[in-house]
């Protein structure tokens, strides 16, 4: 599955890094690093990270295999 993070919206709360540390990591106090391509077996942790983002900056790309249309997790296009 493919992740898209709006880095302009991200405020560095790091909830995603706490819930899926193998996908998201903070670099310093404010910069988010993440893997845009994530294996399907990480779907549950990624879904928790998406839901926990207080500014809704993380989306699952609906146009990629494993996207989840209709849940508000698709990328804005």
Helices (H), the chain: 15-19, 43-52
Q: Say if residue 70's pLDDT is above 70.
A: no
Q: Any idea what DSSP says for residue 76?
A: P
The model carries a pTM of 0.76
4-62 residue pLDDT tens: 999 999 999 999 999 999 999 999 877 999 999 999 999 999 999 999 999 999 999 85
pLDDT: which is higher, 16 or 71: 16
pLDDT score at 37:
95
Q: Say if residue 71's pLDDT is above 50.
A: no
Joined together, the tokens standing for residue 3 give: 């992740």
């Amino acid at each position: 599955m493919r992740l898209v993070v709006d880095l302009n919206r991200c405020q560095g709360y790091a909830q995603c890094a706490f819930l899926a540390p193998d996908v998201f990591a903070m670099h310093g106090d404010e910069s988010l690093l993440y893997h845009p391509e994530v294996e399907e077996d990480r779907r549950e942790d990624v879904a928790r990270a998406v839901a926990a983002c207080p500014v809704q900056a993380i989306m699952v790309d609906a146009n990629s295999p494993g996207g989840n249309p209709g849940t508000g997790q698709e990328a804005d296009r």
